[in-house]
Amino acid sequence: MSFSMKDFSLEGKVAWVTGAGHGIGFEIAKALHEAGATIVFNTSREESMQKGVESYQKAGIKAHGYVCDVTDEKAVKKLTKKIEEEVGTIDILINNAGVIKRVPMLEMNTDDFRQVIDVDLNGPFIVSKAVLPSMIKKGHGKIINICSMMSELGREDVSAYAAAKGGLKMLTKNICSEFGDANIQCNGIGPGYIETPQTKPLREKQDDGSRHPFDEFIINRTPAGRWGKTDDLAGPAVFLASDASNFVNGHILYVDGGLLAYIGKQP
């Protein structure tokens, strides 16, 4: 079968993006919508879900929002069934929901460590497990896990996050290994340092007009010489969600401006 640009189309597909009431998940969901997908998202709280629905409406998108904690297996199973009844079988799952706690390892308590692992690693396992039976029955499916630079690199104060994202990388490879013969592709996207409201304080000029030290650090470590934009994740997400990537499986696509390939500028 020859290649066609239609292979990038997501027309008729249902895409569930977890934790996509705002931020990177919201931007990825918008891209999937532009490619033709029907968008489903969940948040852990009613307030954030309603705000998310409003944000989609302002963007001209009719998104189906639900409240569900991705670490609650019973709730996830119940929601999966509800989505299938109200919207349709899930063709594309984006495991985006996540948390980070920046605490030095010796100061981090075990409960906080477990919470990060629970949301960032157990959550994708639980939601993937819930949607896989219908994907197998349908004969095709796409699972995309939002990994991180910390799937490959360590850094101070993020021991739990790095452990979770490293585990998510390997969960991605294992889902590929177990379900590839069911025509299900599981890949990951590893965003580099992205311009978001959360990272804005790290990019603001100092009082003397100089760059914030962390901003300078990232610019010097990134061959592209800039932070990523949320739009930079749109193309990779659509590609991995579409039939254009049907023989791409178990791969982590790092969207990092070349950071992982580069040792950094000489002082």
Looking at residue 1, the DSSP 8-state letter turns out to be -
Looking at residue 1, what is its pLDDT? 61
Question: CB within 8 A of 219, min separation 6: which ones?
Answer: 211, 225, 226, 227
Looking at residue 21, the DSSP 8-state letter turns out to be S
161 is a catalytic site residue: yes
Helix (H) or strand (E) holding 218: helix 213-221
The pTM (predicted TM-score) of the whole model is 0.95
Environment class of 237 (CB within 10 Å of its CB; exposed 0-12, middle 13-18, buried 19+)? buried
Looking at residue 202, what is its pLDDT? 85
Average pLDDT of adjacent 10-residue blocks, the chain of 267 residues: 88 98 96 98 97 97 98 98 98 97 96 98 98 98 97 94 98 98 98 90 87 92 96 97 98 97 84
Beta pairing, strands 14-18 & 64-67: unpaired
Q: Active-site residue among 56, 66, 161, 262?
A: 161
